[in-house]
């Protein structure tokens, strides 16, 4: 059966090139509260969810201030991980499709089990951080497990499936 909704194989490399810097940027934003000044934008109206609620310039004009560093990190991480997760491998057969399906199911189960545990154990502003991480963890869990199974896990003896070589990804 031919998978219909997968990206071409070349998108996997593009995904890695986007995801790795975006995830690193996101970690710096979360841990060190990093923001780039050139990504700060002032808009001439009062926006309720702005970084700075309301500022004014020398003339008394009010404006809202936004910094898009964290948005770029999240969007880049999501796009990169989507491209990695849902790009074809060079030889896309039924075995790879089965691993893809099982990895996706496993990632969703693990993600929501961790979310339930965090809901019971984490409170306040720390739970907000759990929600932020929860945006990319299903994709991250899927990518890790899918590539682990393809690269490292040996097939059980007696099965007719061949191991996937790294050159086929």
* Per-residue pLDDT tens listing for the chain (169 residues): 566 788 999 999 999 999 999 999 998 988 888 888 888 877 776 655 555 555 556 666 677 778 888 889 999 999 999 999 999 988 878 888 899 999 999 999 999 999 999 999 999 888 888 888 888 999 999 999 999 998 777 554 444 455 555 555 5
- pTM value? 0.77
How many residues does the structure list for the chain?
Answer: 169
Distance between CA atoms of residues 95 and 1, nearest Å: 11
Q: How many domains does the chain have?
A: 2
Residue 62, strand partner residues? 56
DSSP string, 36-49: -GGGEEEESS--TT
Same structural domain for residues 76 and 102? no
Same structural domain for residues 69 and 100? no
Same structural domain for residues 62 and 98? no
């Amino acid at each position: 059966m031919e998978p219909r909704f997968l990206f071409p194989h070349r998108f996997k490399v593009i995904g890695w090139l986007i995801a790795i810097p975006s995830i690193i940027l996101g970690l710096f934003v979360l841990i060190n509260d990093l923001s780039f000044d050139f990504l700060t934008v002032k808009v001439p109206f009062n926006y309720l969810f702005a970084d700075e609620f309301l500022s004014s310039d020398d003339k008394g004009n009010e404006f809202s201030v936004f910094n898009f560093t964290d948005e770029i990190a999240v969007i880049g991480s999501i796009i990169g991980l989507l491209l990695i997760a849902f790009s074809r491998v060079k030889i896309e057969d039924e075995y790879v499709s089965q691993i893809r399906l099982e990895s996706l199911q496993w990632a969703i189960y693990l993600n929501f089990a961790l979310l339930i545990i965090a809901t019971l154990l984490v409170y306040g502003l720390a739970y907000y951080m759990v929600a932020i991480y929860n945006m990319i963890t299903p994709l991250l869990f899927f990518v890790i497990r899918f590539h682990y199974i393809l690269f490292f896990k040996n097939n059980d003896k007696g099965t007719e499936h061949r191991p996937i070589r790294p050159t086929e990804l």
